[in-house]
């Protein structure tokens, strides 16, 4: 996702410096060109050779190093960079950036950068909480620098608290949010639903389905990467919320109805990928149901059909997209739902087709609108999400 992008990583003297190697490696795997500038103190924690091996580029540690081709290097790197990230960022580099000091290669280069700059602080909690550090971070924030909240846990010094460098995978996600895609959905509000619902029978049991949430999460992530303000109403799944997405957790079809209708009026696009139960137990037992010698039957009642409701209360200009998972007569049934629920598009997939359906990382979908049927080849769910958003954005 970062092909053709140049990323500058500034590494400063924190014990978390070793994690910057993982960050560099992950960016290289996304096909970015990565340059690393280290402060002198960073070199005490990790060797420049590590970064040179990972990035295939000379790691810069000294403004007056004369062993490489002549260029005013701090300016040329600042010009080339599509994004700069300081990870880990010590209290010292944060203070220098806040005051515009330029006394080594990293601070000098950062002062010359006009690209987006991310700062990922990593230090002892007390240093992080100190008013000096907090006010320096505030100065940077006001100047448009993106500050990545440190995570909490056991710090290298033995203290517990805030100050850890986040997982490098999360740093990559933040970078992707900044520069990976064209921001053609900037200013748009998109609501996505994902995952299964669970309908309680008693305090122990519930009725659910096999939805993993992967398709809906891929859509939410893709929409955020394209600049949308994304709300993800999610049933219980084992997935991390994508970076930059507001997740609203729900359990039942009723919860989903409430969560969706609370915000649906303000949305530009609503994509309903959740596998919502159509029936729930008519009454939920307060006690665990005990087995007996006779058969058991559970009376069921209909749940709210959220998509049907949205279709009949659709504000002018809102785009509504449903999903239809079928096991036979896919296109006819999906098209019938498109009309019945007053949708702009329905994405049909047959759970019996290889590479489609629950839990897989791929899907085989048909995009159906009032006047068009597009049968797509097998794709990753990430690619399906991008293709779907292309079509909805064009509407
Ligand atoms: N849907 C919903 N609320 C429900 C049931 C479904 O919002 N109670 C939404 C789903 O999120 C999906 C679309 O409606 O986007 C189609 O869901 P599906 O289960 O395929 O269709 P149903 O209308 O439930 O019809 P059936 O179960 O008979 O196939």
What pTM was computed for the model?
A: 0.89
Q: Is 115 a catalytic residue?
A: no
Q: Is the pLDDT of residue 352 over 70?
A: yes
For residue 276 and ligand 1, the question of a CB distance below 6 A is answered with yes
- Going by alpha carbons, the residue nearest to atom 28 of ligand 1 is 278
pLDDT in tens, 175-214: 999 999 999 999 999 999 999 999 999 999 999 999 999 9
For residue 306 and ligand 1, the question of a CB distance below 6 A is answered with yes
In the block, which residue shows the tokens 């700069």? Answer: 84
- Going by alpha carbons, the residue nearest to atom 26 of ligand 1 is 278
Is 171 within 8 Å of 85 (Cβ atoms)? yes
In the block, which residue shows the tokens 């460098």? Answer: 165
For residue 274 and ligand 1, the question of a CB distance below 6 A is answered with yes
Report phi then psi at 387, rounded to 5. Answer: -65, -40
Start-to-end CA distance of the chain, whole Å, equals 25
Which of 99, 54, 60 has its CA nearest to residue 76? 60
In the block, which residue shows the tokens 């058969």? Answer: 295
Q: Is the pLDDT of residue 72 over 70?
A: no
Average pLDDT of the segment spanning 307-319: 97
The CA R_g of the chain, rounded to the nearest whole Å, is 25
Q: Kindly give the number of the ligand 1 atom that is closest to the alpha carbon of 275.
A: 11
Q: Which of 157, 181, 198, 321 is catalytic?
A: 157
Query: How far does residue 272's CA lie from ligand 1's centre (Å)?
Result: 9
pLDDT in tens, 206-228: 999 999 999 999 999 999 999 99
- pLDDT, position 231: 98
- Residue 171, token pair as written in the block: 């740093």
Q: Is the pLDDT of residue 69 over 60?
A: no
Query: How far does residue 305's CA lie from ligand 1's centre (Å)?
Result: 7
Q: Kindly give the number of the ligand 1 atom that is closest to the alpha carbon of 323.
A: 15
pLDDT in tens, 131-146: 999 999 999 999 999 9
Q: Is the pLDDT of residue 379 over 70?
A: yes
Question: Using CA atoms, how far apart are residues 183 and 208, in angstroms rounded to an integer?
Answer: 36
Average pLDDT of the segment spanning 296-325: 97
Confidence of residue 67 (pLDDT cuts 50, 70, 90): low
Distances in Å between the Cα of 216 and the Cα atoms of 192, 205, 382 are: 7, 25, 10
Handedness of CA 179, 180, 184, 187 (dihedral sign): negative
DSSP state letter for 84: E
DSSP conformation letters of 260-317? HHHHGGG-SEEEE--B--SEEESS--SSPPPP-SS-----EEEPP-HHHHHHHTPPTT
- Half-sphere CA count of 277, side-chain side, radius 13 A: 25
Which of 276, 301, 333 maximizes ligand 1 atoms within 8 Å of its Cβ, making it the mutation to test the pocket? Answer: 276
Average pLDDT of the segment spanning 78-96: 97
Omega within 30 of 0 (cis) for the link into 24: no
Conformational region of residue 340, where left means phi above 0, alpha means psi within -120 to 50, and beta covers everything else: alpha
Q: Kindly give the number of the ligand 1 atom that is closest to the alpha carbon of 260.
A: 7
Question: Using CA atoms, how far apart are residues 88 and 42, in angstroms rounded to an integer?
Answer: 9
Average pLDDT, the chain: 95
């Amino acid at each position: 996702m970062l092909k053709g992008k140049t990323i500058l990583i500034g590494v400063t003297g924190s014990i978390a410096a070793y994690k910057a190697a993982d960050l560099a490696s992950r960016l290289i795997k996304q096909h970015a060109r990565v340059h690393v500038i280290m402060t002198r103190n960073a070199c005490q924690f990790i060797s420049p050779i590590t970064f040179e091996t990972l990035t295939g580029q000379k790691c810069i540690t000294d403004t007056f190093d004369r062993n490489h081709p002549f260029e005013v290097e701090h300016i040329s790197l600042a010009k080339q960079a599509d994004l700069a990230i300081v990870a880990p960022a010590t209290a010292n580099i944060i203070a220098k950036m806040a005051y515009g000091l330029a006394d080594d290669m990293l601070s000098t280069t950062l002062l010359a950068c006009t690209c987006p700059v991310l700062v990922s602080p990593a230090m002892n909690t007390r240093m992080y909480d100190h008013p000096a550090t907090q006010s320096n971070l505030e100065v940077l924030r006001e100047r448009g620098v993106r500050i990545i909240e440190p995570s909490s846990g056991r710090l290298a010094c033995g203290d517990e608290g805030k100050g850890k460098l986040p997982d490098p995978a999360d740093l990559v996600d933040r970078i992707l949010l900044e520069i990976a895609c064209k921001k053609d959905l900037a200013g748009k509000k998109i609501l996505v639903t994902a995952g299964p619902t669970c309908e309680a029978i008693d305090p122990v049991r519930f009725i659910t389905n096999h939805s993993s949430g992967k398709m809906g999460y891929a859509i939410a992530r893709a929409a955020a990467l394209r600049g949308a303000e994304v709300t993800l109403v999610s049933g219980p799944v084992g997935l991390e919320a994508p970076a930059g997405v507001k997740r609203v957790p729900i359990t039942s079809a009723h919860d989903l109805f409430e969560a969706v209708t609370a915000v649906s009026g303000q949305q530009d696009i609503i994509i309903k990928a959740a596998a919502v139960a159509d029936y729930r137990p008519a009454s939920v037992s307060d006690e665990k149901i005990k087995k007996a010698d006779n058969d058991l039957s559970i009376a069921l009642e209909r749940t709210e059909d959220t998509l049907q409701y949205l279709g009949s209360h659709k504000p002018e200009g809102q785009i509504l997209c449903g999903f239809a998972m079928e096991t036979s007569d896919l296109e006819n049934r999906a098209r019938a739902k498109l009309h019945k629920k007053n949708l702009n598009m329905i994405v049909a997939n047959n759970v019996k087709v290889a590479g489609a359906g629950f839990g897989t990382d791929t899907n085989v979908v048909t995009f159906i609108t009032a006047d068009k049927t597009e049968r797509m080849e097998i794709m990753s769910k990430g690619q399906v999400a991008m293709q779907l958003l292309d079509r909805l954005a064009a509407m």
